[in-house]
Amino acid sequence: MMSSVVLLRYALRSFRTSAATAIWRIKSTQNLCKVRSFSTRSGTGIFGLEHLHRASDWQSIALGTIQKCEQIATEIRSSKPSSHTLQLFDDLSNELCRVLDVMELCRHIHPDPEFIGEAEKWFAVLNSYMQELNADYLLYRPLSELESKSSHLALDREENMMLKSLISDMQRSGIHMPAKTRQKIVELQNKIASLGFEFTRQISRAPTPFSISKEQAKELFSPSMLASFEYVEKRHGKDVYRSDMQTLKHVLHHHPKGEARKLAYLSIYSADASSIQVVESLLGARNQLARMLGYVSYSHFASLDKLVRNPERVREFLLQLNKSLGPKLESELRLLKEEKERTERSSSPIESWEVTFYCNQIRRKLNVESLRLDEYLELEACLQGMFYIANCLFDIRAVEDVTNPEKWHQDVRKFVFFNGSGQSIGTLFLDLYQRPYKYPNSTHFTIQSHRLLKDGSHQLPVIAITMNMEKNSSSKRNSTFLHPFELQTLFHEFGHALHSILSTTRFQNLAGTRTALDFVEMPSHLFEYFARDQRVLQHISKGFGNKTIPQSLVEDMLRNSQLFSGIDAQTQIFYSLLDLELHSSPNVGNGGSVEILKTVQNEYTPFRYVEGTAWHTRFGHLYGYASCYYSYLVAKVLASKIWQRLFSDNPLSKESGRLLREKVLMVGGSQSPQEILESILGNDMRADRFLIELGIDSVGLEECPCIHTGTDN
Ligand SMILES: [Zn+2]
């Protein structure tokens, strides 16, 4: 449904420099020319990490990193507080992040389980070492002294931001607390990281086996489908079967019999006690950590460095948004109910296992399934279109490097970006096809961040985008064609990549996507608009066989996306509220999470909770976003305003591209998101554009939901 992004925000983050203040002036829309060999990183191991060739190399890389970090940490401990101290911190953070970030990528996508296992093992060691650094008072002291003298030392804006960010991160590790408490906090943070691994692994676990009687099996499933299920055993007179996620999702979304869909729903969303326990332990440990640090809940603790710095404000925004969906949501529910009455002659409420089925059925009847937009969206043409937009807006050019010694799988492609003066400014790896062991969600990974080096040169950004496309989806033409949703996802991840590649911050700790989590999704959501724009789609479609996409087809697609937009938006509100409640309630960690799921679902959605289900055990964002799932809705609201203000008239406007680059993408986290937004939107952060795009124009500006930011907590 939506793509996720893995952004590690280490307490000690690292920073890359970017040159790129030069005038980027590359004309043209040239094709992706293929050239050989650019040296954008010193190392030529896998992922560009020097010395990484075999799984066992992770050990020496991790231990070597600790050794280098120790040298820097020793220098910091004895340093006289100055702006040089901040540089040393960035060096330290850079050493850690350029290995930890790559380990994170490796464990999500490497095709060899041995590589994954070693990356996980040494990630835990390095992560634990980093937590100890965060709790090292002798490292904190020069920062604290620098803070008290900062006005005399006249730190510049970025240095002040760096100082503020480091102090805040270390305080959040309990640096101001007694040594014993600090040790306990480090232990808790390690526990959270290890539970996080376990949780991430269990998200892709097989569905729960289901049991049915012989008669039921015959009545519900065709012989061929029954044969595709794996027989497990006989239990209480019924046959127990197991099936895979893809088959069960197909049953849930398309099977004409309600009982079959209910079976599939229960199989997909129920969980055994141990899976529930993993989530409970994770949430419980976070709750304990927040309380040790003096916060009411983990959501209060997590909101400290965000755009919306208060969970109550987040909740208020979500509830207002939910209220605004009113009449639109009611009309969509009416459609579903009428469809159910026609199909089943039943006026009972729509159940959770019926929603997608009836939405699909209505779409089919309205003939929207016959939209063949993907015939126009050939992968190479889409990539060219994507790079063409970047060229028009930012005067940058992508060139494929086919030598690519850093690749971790034969499908991985490498593109180097150049500015208008022909200087390389960053590298993008695309790993787009599905395969075993690969993380199932589309994701942007940082491999290396921009930072300015001592000699004035730049450490250039290196990014990976991973997706799960079906290779050669059109067997006729031996090409891959994208569903419009896949194109939007590709553009979404490309928006994250541009945020990193165009970053020019001095410290890697503040580069590109290393900004507030509830702001970082804005550029990526903004780029999704390009993938829905008639003018852009026409350009892309011409790139393959010179076929122009008919305007009526794009209009149909947009109308189709509004058909159940109220239900879709409410689902996002439900996920956000659930995430917030799970990280706010004192009852998590003691078996209360299922009860919270039940309460939130019954209160804020029209589809009743189904006894026995524990959907949150597959809610991957619970780990990575930790009470900030609402970031997606905030990003949608902000992106809708910025699109309207800068690009709706002309999506390829150079002037708008310049504004976006200078005010948002270049500055990364070196400026607060509040300041960045104010410079583009003034004080107007209302959801009016977002609601209009959902098909709701009845909400007056007075009562329109609004994102309230602020500094108090
Ligand atoms: Zn994203």
| pLDDT tens figures, 282-294 | 999 999 999 999 9
At residue 535, the pLDDT reads: 93
Residue 710 has pLDDT above 70, yes or no: no
C-alpha 496 to ligand 1 mean position (Å): 7
Q: Is residue 8 part of a domain?
A: no
**CA angle, corner 400, sides to 398 and 406, nearest 5?**
120
Residue 533 has pLDDT above 70, yes or no: yes
Domains in the chain, number: 1
C-alpha 696 to ligand 1 mean position (Å): 25
C-alpha 142 to ligand 1 mean position (Å): 36
Closest CA to 555 of 484, 482, 486: 484
C-alpha 520 to ligand 1 mean position (Å): 8
Give the model confidence (pLDDT) of 199-250 as tens digits.
988 887 889 999 999 889 889 999 988 889 998 999 988 999 999 998 999 9
C-alpha 444 to ligand 1 mean position (Å): 7
Higher-scoring residue by pLDDT: 202, 56: 56
Residue 115 has pLDDT above 60, yes or no: yes
C-alpha 2 to ligand 1 mean position (Å): 8
How far is it, in rounded angstroms, from Cα 57 to Cα 52?
A: 6
Query: How many beta carbons lie within 10 A of that of residue 164, not counting itself?
Result: 16
36 pLDDT band (50/70/90 cuts)? very low
At residue 477, the pLDDT reads: 61
C-alpha 600 to ligand 1 mean position (Å): 25
Whole-number average pLDDT of the chain: 88
Q: In what order do the strands lie in the sheet with 443-448?
A: 34-35, 397-401, 413-418, 424-433, 462-469, 443-448
Closest CA to 637 of 267, 166, 320: 320
Residue 114 has pLDDT above 70, yes or no: yes
C-alpha 310 to ligand 1 mean position (Å): 22
C-alpha 494 to ligand 1 mean position (Å): 9
C-alpha 338 to ligand 1 mean position (Å): 36
Q: Is residue 543 part of a domain?
A: no
How far is it, in rounded angstroms, from Cα 241 to Cα 207?
A: 11
How far is it, in rounded angstroms, from Cα 273 to Cα 295?
A: 29
C-alpha 499 to ligand 1 mean position (Å): 11
C-alpha 497 to ligand 1 mean position (Å): 10
Give the model confidence (pLDDT) of 389-434 as tens digits.
999 999 999 999 999 889 999 999 999 999 999 999 999 999 999 9
Q: Is residue 135 part of a domain?
A: yes
Residue 7 has pLDDT above 50, yes or no: no
Mean pLDDT, rounded, for 19-35: 29
C-alpha 547 to ligand 1 mean position (Å): 31
Q: Is residue 452 part of a domain?
A: no
C-alpha 352 to ligand 1 mean position (Å): 27
Question: Tokens 């389980």 correspond to what residue?
Answer: 113
Question: Tokens 């992508």 correspond to what residue?
Answer: 398
C-alpha 620 to ligand 1 mean position (Å): 13
C-alpha 521 to ligand 1 mean position (Å): 5
Tokens of 401: 């490097």
43 pLDDT band (50/70/90 cuts)? low
Per the CB < 8 A criterion, the answer to whether 100 and 148 are in contact is: no
C-alpha 681 to ligand 1 mean position (Å): 21
C-alpha 287 to ligand 1 mean position (Å): 26
372 pLDDT band (50/70/90 cuts)? confident
Residue count (the chain): 713
Q: Is residue 703 part of a domain?
A: no
C-alpha 687 to ligand 1 mean position (Å): 19
C-alpha 669 to ligand 1 mean position (Å): 16
Residue 589 has pLDDT above 80, yes or no: no
368 pLDDT band (50/70/90 cuts)? low
C-alpha 176 to ligand 1 mean position (Å): 34
Q: What predicted TM-score, i.e. pTM, was given to this entire model?
A: 0.89
Q: Is residue 614 part of a domain?
A: no
How far is it, in rounded angstroms, from Cα 194 to Cα 199?
A: 9
154 pLDDT band (50/70/90 cuts)? confident
C-alpha 327 to ligand 1 mean position (Å): 30
Percent of the chain with pLDDT over 70: 91
C-alpha 578 to ligand 1 mean position (Å): 19
C-alpha 270 to ligand 1 mean position (Å): 27
C-alpha 101 to ligand 1 mean position (Å): 17
At residue 123, the pLDDT reads: 94
C-alpha 643 to ligand 1 mean position (Å): 17
C-alpha 492 to ligand 1 mean position (Å): 6
474 pLDDT band (50/70/90 cuts)? low
C-alpha 635 to ligand 1 mean position (Å): 9
At residue 476, the pLDDT reads: 57
Residue 304 has pLDDT above 50, yes or no: yes
Higher-scoring residue by pLDDT: 436, 567: 567
C-alpha 22 to ligand 1 mean position (Å): 28
Domain membership of residue 179 as a residue range: 38-203
Residue 505 has pLDDT above 80, yes or no: yes
C-alpha 262 to ligand 1 mean position (Å): 32
C-alpha 528 to ligand 1 mean position (Å): 10
C-alpha 3 to ligand 1 mean position (Å): 6
C-alpha 4 to ligand 1 mean position (Å): 5
C-alpha 36 to ligand 1 mean position (Å): 31
- Helices (H) and strands (E) counted in the chain, each on its own, are 27, 9
17 pLDDT band (50/70/90 cuts)? very low
Residue 122 has pLDDT above 50, yes or no: yes
C-alpha 119 to ligand 1 mean position (Å): 24
- Stretch among 538-547, 606-615, 675-684 having the lowest mean pLDDT: 538-547
C-alpha 442 to ligand 1 mean position (Å): 9
700 pLDDT band (50/70/90 cuts)? confident
C-alpha 512 to ligand 1 mean position (Å): 13
On the CB side of 541, CA atoms within 13 Å amount to 22
Question: What distance, in Å, lies between the first and last C-alpha atoms of the chain?
Answer: 32
C-alpha 7 to ligand 1 mean position (Å): 9
C-alpha 524 to ligand 1 mean position (Å): 6
C-alpha 149 to ligand 1 mean position (Å): 38
Higher-scoring residue by pLDDT: 400, 365: 400
Write the DSSP symbol of residue 13.
-
CATH code, domain with 173: 1.20.1050.40
At residue 32, the pLDDT reads: 36
Residue 14 has pLDDT above 50, yes or no: no
- Stretch among 66-80, 122-136, 364-378, 562-576 having the lowest mean pLDDT: 364-378
At residue 558, the pLDDT reads: 86
150 pLDDT band (50/70/90 cuts)? low
DSSP 401-466: ES--TT-SSTT-EEEEEE-TTS-EEEEEEEEEE--TT--SS-EEEEEE-BBB-TTS-BPPPEEEEE
Q: Is residue 292 part of a domain?
A: no
At residue 569, the pLDDT reads: 96
At residue 369, the pLDDT reads: 57
At residue 545, the pLDDT reads: 75
Say what angle helices 521-530 and 484-501 make with each other, to 10 degrees.
130
76 pLDDT band (50/70/90 cuts)? very high
C-alpha 632 to ligand 1 mean position (Å): 8
Residue 361 has pLDDT above 90, yes or no: yes
C-alpha 6 to ligand 1 mean position (Å): 8
C-alpha 347 to ligand 1 mean position (Å): 40
33 pLDDT band (50/70/90 cuts)? very low
C-alpha 231 to ligand 1 mean position (Å): 39
C-alpha 628 to ligand 1 mean position (Å): 12
C-alpha 229 to ligand 1 mean position (Å): 35
C-alpha 430 to ligand 1 mean position (Å): 16
C-alpha 5 to ligand 1 mean position (Å): 5
C-alpha 522 to ligand 1 mean position (Å): 8
Mean pLDDT, rounded, for 33-43: 42
Q: Is residue 105 part of a domain?
A: yes
C-alpha 609 to ligand 1 mean position (Å): 28
On the CB side of 41, CA atoms within 13 Å amount to 26
